[in-house]
């Protein structure tokens, strides 16, 4: 009975995995089909004449290295700064007990009530007057303060016993040392989660770079990808291969940091 | 593992920083020196302007375009040619290609902070006439173009290419079924003859559907025009004259195409793409625009297709569309932008451009050398078309900033699934036009 229950659960799990993985597989395999085969009826899963020409064409057609390095710069810098700011802010909100900090926390929470689309125009005006229009920093600075990250970090730091900080203070550790040497190392699972999310947000960001950038040598990969979908025509072969290339960095980050989440002990930093 | 990940991240960060630092330099050096360039009167010729630019000073014009790579890269080649010819004459053009869907967002956003590009190629110019540099007094003239871009007596924009609606067939299927198709204008099908032909093709071949129509108001409206429908009174543009027996007949004909199984309903309601469906080879005909030819030439190899003369009921009709090339006012580069436009529309250059991208020319007297077949028939459709599509286009232009959207296709989609009758479709279309266009009535 137990065996059948386990089997049933596994079948359900693998069905869901298939449901999620199949579209991705379809995209990857279709990227090796030629334009004619993509629309042949009946559809076939595997290409009859696999070709890497789509990848060669799209690589030659677009300045991939420029777009890739722009996206990488924005994503990496924004992710590092997001983690740093979220951790510092979360630590302060969790461990310093001033009344006005609660007000700040409530005000920060209130910012989540406004969808980012609503504040895009005023954000753009500020960005322009700061001289950040058409600069990669214009895609980084407005995005690094995320309440999701702050909240995630605050909720974790609340669970850390105050005694641990007091012990460090008695030993003569400064607040900076406490944060960098004690607090940051024990929240690696939260950092991993935030890294995955932040990387995905910034890498896939479309609307803000569209507004903040205007020079083609500063475009991100996502802006460049959109060029493949025209008013009346879509270059499917190029779009599929370019999409596969675009997915790879996010996948790598997920694989690397996913292990960190799995390895992180829930009681990290606390002696049992 | 953690250390390796951090080292990799830092290395990537440093690389990116270095790459970005390196890239910003050419961008800064390409900054325009437009303000130092001596200004010329608009009536000067291209040659005079070229000579007047001080040596050693280079103005870099930004040309914002969309879809050029998708449509053959013709503009990129022309920009390259221009830059070579003007290398020592102080003007260079830098093409900035973005997605078509983002053009309006980009233009409006950039207009809001006074950062408009010098030149734009876009499907829409009516909404921006307050920002466009007029072309009156230049070597360019409205009389040279077949699409009217003059508004309030001012020639604002050059129509860079024309598009037309017509009929494509699956030639292999027609040949296999032994069904003939019109090869001259005199042999045009009536719609009934066309339906008989596609019925025979679907009966005798593997084709599952007789026809697909793009999910587009323009394509449906063109069928209505062939039935004699008129959206507006040609003599009084404030009068909506769509309510007629001809229109009702046309709407009922379109609805019957779906209810009688000639066309797939999934395409009619926009959930499937007509172009992709035709490419499967399981459809006998495609009511489409000429732009599909480039895609079909590249991606259809399993069967042959052909452009045929479009069917008619009372009138021959096609709807013109296209892109426009224009210069923005207030960039400080208007003179140089006009120089580019004048160079671009020299017959030899414009012919070259249309040939590269297989475009129907909007300039009169141009005969491009096409690499795909069938465009001559689209050209013939433009010449044979009745007046009604042009009137609709003029009225739409007169109502710049107002739009009745895609009400034709959206209302018809509801009719295809049995939610509306032809009369209700007509009522909805007319009501929507009147509600959205100021000063018009039945």
Q: Are residues B175 and B208 in the same domain?
A: yes
**Does pLDDT of B34 surpass 60?**
no
Buried residues in B38-68 as b, exposed as e (16+ CB within 10 A): eebeeebebeebbeebeeeebbbbbbbbbbb
Do residue B66 and residue A136 have CB atoms under 8 angstroms apart?
A: no
More confident residue, B321 or B193: B193
At residue A214, φ and ψ (nearest 5 deg) are -135, -10
Which of B345, B195, B326, B193 minimizes the C-alpha distance to B261? Answer: B195
Is the pLDDT at A270 greater than 50? The verdict is: no
Average pLDDT of chain A is 88
| Prior bond of A147 cis (ω within 30°) | no
Instruction: Provide the CATH number for the domain around residue B157.
Output: 3.40.190.10
Classify residue B186 by its DSSP letter: G
User: B196 — contact with chain A (CB < 8 Å)?
Assistant: no
Is 70 exceeded by the pLDDT of residue A175? Answer: yes
**Among B13, B113, B294, beta carbon nearest to A76:** B13
Kindly state whether residues B237 and B301 are assigned to the same domain: yes
What ipTM goes with this model?
A: 0.82
Residues forming a β-bridge with B163? B321
Co-location of B149 and B209 in the same domain: no
> pLDDT digit string (tens) for A129-142?
999 999 999 999 99
Residue B363 lies in a domain: no
> Which candidate, B205, B244, B204, places its Cα nearest to that of B225?
B244
pLDDT band at B78 (very low <50, low <70, confident <90, very high): very high
Q: Is the pLDDT of residue B272 over 80?
A: yes
Query: Which of B306, B332, B357 is the last residue before a domain boundary?
Result: B357
Is B301 within a domain? yes
More confident: B222 or B152: B222
Looking at the structure, tell me whether residues B263 and B384 fall in a common domain: yes
Residue B253 confidence (pLDDT): 96
Distances (CA, A) of B305 to A136, B181, B374: 47, 12, 10
Q: What is the DSSP letter of B308?
A: E
Q: Is residue B441 part of a domain?
A: no
Asked if residue B102 is part of any domain, the answer here is yes
Biggest CA–CA distance in chain B, Å, is 78
Q: What's the confidence (pLDDT) of residue B127?
A: 86
Task: Tell me whether residue B16 is in a domain.
Answer: no
Rounded to an integer, what distance in angstroms lies between the CA atom of residue B95 and that of residue B92? Answer: 10
CA distances from A238 to B110, B140, B256 (A): 29, 38, 38
Number of C-beta neighbours around residue B362 at 10 A: 25
For residue A145, give how far its alpha carbon lies from the nearest alpha carbon of chain B (Å). 20
Q: Does B291 touch chain A (CB under 8 A)?
A: yes
Given A38, A69, A233, which is nearest B70 (Cβ)?
A233
Q: Are residues B114 and B213 in the same domain?
A: no
Q: Do B67 and A230 touch (CB under 8 A)?
A: yes
Average pLDDT, chain B: 86
- Ramachandran bin of B73, using left for φ above 0, alpha for ψ from -120 to 50, beta for the remaining angles: left
Q: Between vectors from CA A184 to CA A179 and to CA A189, what angle results, nearest 5°?
A: 155
Residues 6+ positions from B294 with CB-CB distance below 8 Å: A233, B71, B72, B357, B358, B372
Residue A121 neighbours by CB under 8 Å, 6+ apart: none
Cβ neighbours of B279 in A, within 8 Å: 36, 39
Mean pLDDT of B98-121: 93
Neighbours of B139 (CB within 10 A): 17
Answer yes or no: is pLDDT of B44 > 90: no
Across A242-265, average pLDDT: 80
Distance from CA of A260 to the nearest CA of B (A): 8
A interface residues, B as partner, C-beta within 8 Å: 35-36, 38-41, 61, 66, 69-70, 72-73, 76-77, 80, 124, 128, 133-134, 136, 188, 210-211, 214-218, 223, 226-235, 237, 256-257, 259-260
Residues B182 and B96 in one domain: no
**B34 belongs to a structural domain:** no
Q: What's the structural domain count of chain B?
A: 2
Given a cut of 60, whether residue B50 has pLDDT beyond it is no
pLDDT of B421 strictly over 90: yes
> pLDDT tens digits, residue range B311-341?
999 999 998 888 999 999 999 999 999 999 9
- Cβ A12 vs Cβ A6: under 8 Å: no
- Residue-level pLDDT at B149: 87
Contact B255, B415 (CB under 8 A): yes
The alpha-carbon radius of gyration of chain B (Å, integer) is 25
Residues B208 and B252 both lie in one domain: yes
Say how far apart CA B296 and CA B302 lie, in whole Å: 11
Is B7 contained in some domain?
Answer: no
Kindly report the nearest CA distance between residue A73 and chain B, in angstroms.
5
Average pLDDT over every residue of B272-297: 92
Residues B305 and B350 grouped into a single domain:
no
User: Which residues, including other chains, have CB under 8 Å from residue B24's CB and lie 6 or more apart?
Assistant: none
Q: Which domains does chain A have, with CATH numbers?
A: 65-227 (1.10.3720.10)
3-state secondary structure of B70: coil
**Given an 8 Å threshold on Cβ–Cβ distance, is B102 in contact with A210?**
yes
Residues B100 and B203 placed together within one structural domain of the fold: no
Among A38, A136, A210, beta carbon nearest to B105 = A210
SS3 B211: strand
Asked if the Cβ–Cβ distance from B98 to A215 is below 8 Å, we say no
Token pair 């079909």: residue: B296
Whether B27 shows a pLDDT value over 70: the answer reads no
The pLDDT value given to residue B326: 95
Provide CB contacts within 8 A for A40, sequence distance 6+: B280, B281, B302
Q: How far apart are CA A196 and CA B316, in angstroms?
A: 59
Distance from CA of A112 to the nearest CA of B (A): 25
As a whole number, mean pLDDT of residues B239-256 equals 96
DSSP one-letter code for B311: P
Q: Is the pLDDT of residue B295 over 60?
A: yes
- Residue B57 resides in a domain: yes
Least confident of A94-103, B26-35, B275-284: B26-35
| Same-domain pairing of B282 and B428 | yes
Cross-chain Cβ contact A227/B27 below 8 Å: no
| Tokens describing residue A236 | 């499917």
**Tokens of residue A102, six digits:** 């609660």
Q: Is the pLDDT of residue A100 over 60?
A: yes
Residues whose CB is less than 8 angstroms from the CB of residue B321 and which lie 6 or more positions away in sequence, other chains included: B123, B162, B163, B164, B218, B289
Minimal Cβ distance to A235: which of B70, B105, B106: B70
**For B284-290, what is the mean pLDDT?**
94
Q: Which of A66-70, A110-114, B76-80 has the lowest mean pLDDT?
A: A110-114
Q: Does B283 lie in the same domain as B213?
A: yes
Name B158's Cβ contacts closer than 8 Å, sequence gap at least 6. B135, B140, B145, B149, B324, B325, B326, B341, B345, B362
Say what the alpha-carbon torsion angle B36, B328, A66, A146 is, to the nearest 10 degrees. 110
In this prediction, residue B192 has a pLDDT band, given cuts at 50, 70 and 90, of very high
> Nearest by CB to A226, which of B5, B99, B291?
B99
Domain that holds residue B429: 165-319+374-436
pLDDT in tens, B334-390: 999 999 999 999 999 999 999 988 888 988 888 888 888 889 899 889 889 999 998
* A226 vs B contacts (CB less than 8 Å): 98-99, 101-102
Q: Are residues B242 and B301 in the same domain?
A: yes
pLDDT above 90 as % of chain A: 54
pLDDT bracket for residue B54 (50, 70, 90): low
> Quick check: B299 and A36 in contact, CB under 8 A?
yes
* Mean pLDDT on A215-222: 92
């Amino acid at each position: 009975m137990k065996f059948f229950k386990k089997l049933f659960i596994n079948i359900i799990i693998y069905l869901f995995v298939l449901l999620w993985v199949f579209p991705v597989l379809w995209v990857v395999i279709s990227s090796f089909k030629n334009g004619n085969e993509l629309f042949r009826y009946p559809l076939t899963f595997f290409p009859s004449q696999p070709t890497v020409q789509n990848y060669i064409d799209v690589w030659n057609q677009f300045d991939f290295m420029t777009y890739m390095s722009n996206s990488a710069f924005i994503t990496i810098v924004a992710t590092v700064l997001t983690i740093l700011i979220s951790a510092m802010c979360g630590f302060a909100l969790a461990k310093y007990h001033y009344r006005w900090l609660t007000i700040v926390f409530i005000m920060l929470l209130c910012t989540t009530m406004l969808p980012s689309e609503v504040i895009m125009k005023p954000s753009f005006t500020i960005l322009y007057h700061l001289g950040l229009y058409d600069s990669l920093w214009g895609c980084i600075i407005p995005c690094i303060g995320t309440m999701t990250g702050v909240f995630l970090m605050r909720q974790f730091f609340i669970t850390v016993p105050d005694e641990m900080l007091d012990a460090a203070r008695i030993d003569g550790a400064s607040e900076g040392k406490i944060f960098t040497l004690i607090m940051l190392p024990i929240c690696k699972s939260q950092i991993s989660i935030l890294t995955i999310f932040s990387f995905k947000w910034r890498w896939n960001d479309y609307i803000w770079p569209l507004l903040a950038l205007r020079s083609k040598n500063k475009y991100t990969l996502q802006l460049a990808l959109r060029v493949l979908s025209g008013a009346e025509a879509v270059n499917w072969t190029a779009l599929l291969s370019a999409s596969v290339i675009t997915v790879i960095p996010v996948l790598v980050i997920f694989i690397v940091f996913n292990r960190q989440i799995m390895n992180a002990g829930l009681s990290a930093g606390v002696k049992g | 593992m953690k250390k390796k990940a951090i080292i990799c991240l830092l290395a990537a960060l440093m690389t990116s920083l270095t790459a970005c630092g390196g890239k910003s330099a050419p961008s800064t050096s390409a900054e325009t020196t437009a303000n130092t360039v001596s200004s010329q009167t608009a009536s000067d010729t291209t040659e005079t302007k070229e000579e007047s630019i001080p040596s050693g000073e280079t103005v870099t014009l930004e040309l914002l375009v969309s879809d050029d790579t998708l449509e053959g890269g013709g503009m990129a080649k022309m920009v390259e040619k221009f830059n070579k010819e003007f290398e020592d004459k102080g003007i260079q053009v830098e093409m900035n290609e973005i997605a078509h869907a983002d053009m309006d967002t980009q233009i409006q956003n950039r207009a809001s902070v006074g950062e408009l590009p010098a030149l734009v190629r876009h499907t829409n110019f009516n909404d921006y006439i307050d920002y466009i540099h007029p072309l009156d007094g230049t070597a360019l003239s409205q009389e040279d173009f077949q699409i009217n871009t003059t508004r309030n007596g001012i020639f604002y924009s050059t129509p860079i290419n024309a598009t037309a609606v017509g009929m494509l067939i699956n030639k292999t299927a027609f040949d296999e079924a032994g069904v003939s198709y019109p090869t001259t204008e005199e042999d045009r099908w009536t719609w009934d003859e066309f339906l008989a032909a596609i019925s025979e093709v679907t009966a005798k071949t593997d084709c599952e559907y007789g026809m697909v129509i793009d999910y587009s108001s323009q394509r449906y409206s063109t069928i209505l025009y062939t039935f004699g429908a008129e959206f507006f009174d040609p003599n009084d543009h404030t009068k909506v004259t769509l309510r007629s027996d001809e229109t009702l007949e046309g709407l009922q004909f379109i609805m019957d195409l779906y209810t009688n199984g000639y066309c797939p309903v999934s395409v009619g309601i926009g959930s499937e793409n007509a172009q992709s469906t035709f490419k499967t080879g399981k459809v006998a005909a495609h009511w489409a625009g000429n732009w599909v030819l480039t895609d079909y030439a590249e991606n259809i190899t399993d069967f042959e297709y052909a452009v045929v003369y479009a069917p008619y009921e009372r009138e021959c009709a096609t709807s013109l569309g296209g892109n426009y090339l224009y210069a923005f006012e207030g960039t400080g580069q208007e003179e140089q932008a006009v120089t580019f436009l004048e160079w671009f529309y020299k017959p030899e250059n414009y012919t070259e451009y249309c040939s590269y991208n297989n475009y129907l020319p909007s300039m009169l007297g141009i005969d491009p050398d096409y690499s795909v077949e069938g465009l001559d028939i689209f050209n013939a459709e433009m010449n044979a078309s009745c007046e009604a599509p042009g009137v609709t286009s003029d009225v739409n232009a007169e109502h710049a900033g107002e739009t009745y959207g895609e009400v034709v296709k959206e209302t018809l989609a509801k009719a295809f699934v049995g939610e509306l009758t032809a009369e209700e479709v007509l009522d909805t279309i007319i009501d929507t036009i009147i509600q959205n266009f100021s000063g018009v009535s039945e």
